[in-house]
Amino acid sequence: MGSTPRPHRFAIPMATRSTDVATLEQCPGKWMLTQFMETQQAEATYFELGSALHETIEATILDDLDLDTALYTMDIRLDAWIEGLEDSGKRVIETTDKTVDTVKDMADRMMRQWFIDVHPDSDKRLPIYDDYQWPPQVEHEFRRDVGLKYPIWGSVDAIFQHQNLDAGLAIVDWKSGKGRAKDFQLHFYEFGLALDVPAVGWFHQLDRKRKSAKIQMMEDDWPGTNEMLGDIAVAESTKQDLLDGWVEWNQDWWCNYCTVQEFCPVEGQDTEANDKAYIRMLSYAKPMTQPYEKKE
């Protein structure tokens, strides 16, 4: 799922996504600048790797692609991205293992492994997927009024139906990063989907080599509706604070990986100019309270 469609760069989407909760908690200023500077922000190898894998997995499931076709389409996409980097003149954020030079090989390796681990044509498929029907629903969008001021929304990478219909569903999120994912995201999906059937959830870690490390099951118990609503309400009120002109900048290690760092008034190159720029942009900001349908 890409960013929230908006009519203009100063529209602040008030409906809450799970990524909003995490980013607003980390640094509200970053969340705001990511809206305003969406097209100017830096490129990051790990975001491009994640997007390329997610789109290729989605197309492989939806269009029943074979592995060679899937790899070919992903390769073309990544070639175009790499070629475009030079023309764009944008800063590129890399990590020690995910560089512009390695991103294609990494994507190729992870996609091949995904096919082995998940696809029904593979004879080395992880047994957990044999319990579920193929194909799953992909990029399943939800939007739900949870009784707060604004709704929540999101999109689930894959929803698998158990072979035994009474056993319910599996909510699956593909992860291309190495870090341990937080259960909150899967709980948020569970909450947004408002299912009336049993559901389990897991992160499928695309970059793990050991079979036992690839499936990261949702570990924590359901935190309860009140706790979920509390987290979402904090995100809503932080957005309102931004609209009211209150911006918090949280500097920490994550600034090194921040795609809007150069526009940041506390970490950027020209902090004084950045300070003026975001205050000017904030004066144009309007809350976007309704979903916006992008015209094709």
Interaction site with ligand SF4 (CB under 6 A)? 27, 29-30, 33, 249-251, 254-255, 258, 260-261, 264, 266-267
Q: Which is nearer to ligand SF4, 29 or 192 (CB)?
A: 29
Minimum distance of ligand SF4 from residue 90's CB (angstroms): 16
Minimum distance of ligand SF4 from residue 222's CB (angstroms): 31
Minimum distance of ligand SF4 from residue 38's CB (angstroms): 14
Q: Which is nearer to ligand SF4, 176 or 259 (CB)?
A: 259
260, two tokens: 């809007």
Strands 286-288 and 152-161, how do they pair?
unpaired
Residue 274: half-sphere exposure toward Cβ, Cα within 13 Å? 18
Q: Which is nearer to ligand SF4, 33 or 193 (CB)?
A: 33
Do the Cβ atoms of 222 and 194 come closer than 8 Å? Answer: no
Q: Which is nearer to ligand SF4, 201 or 268 (CB)?
A: 268
Minimum distance of ligand SF4 from residue 220's CB (angstroms): 26
Do the Cβ atoms of 268 and 261 come closer than 8 Å? Answer: yes
Residue 37: half-sphere exposure toward Cβ, Cα within 13 Å? 21
Minimum distance of ligand SF4 from residue 269's CB (angstroms): 11
Q: Which is nearer to ligand SF4, 23 or 216 (CB)?
A: 23
11: region left, alpha or beta (phi > 0 left; psi from -120 to 50 alpha): beta
Q: Which is nearer to ligand SF4, 152 or 260 (CB)?
A: 260
Q: Which is nearer to ligand SF4, 92 or 266 (CB)?
A: 266
86, two tokens: 């030079």
Q: Which whole-number Å values give the CA distances from 198 to 127, 164, 171, 172, 210, in the listed order?
A: 20, 12, 11, 14, 29
Minimum distance of ligand SF4 from residue 94's CB (angstroms): 17
Angle at 18 between CA 31 and CA 170, to 5 degrees: 155
Q: Which is nearer to ligand SF4, 10 or 249 (CB)?
A: 249
In a 10 Å sphere around its CB, with 0-12 CB exposed, 13-18 middle and 19+ buried, how is residue 15 labelled? buried
What is the sign, positive or negative, of the torsion defined by CA atoms of 118, 120, 122, 128? positive
Minimum distance of ligand SF4 from residue 258's CB (angstroms): 3
Minimum distance of ligand SF4 from residue 37's CB (angstroms): 10
Angle at 71 between CA 203 and CA 77, to 5 degrees: 90
Cα–Cα distance, 92 to 159 (Å, whole number) = 33
262, two tokens: 């150069």
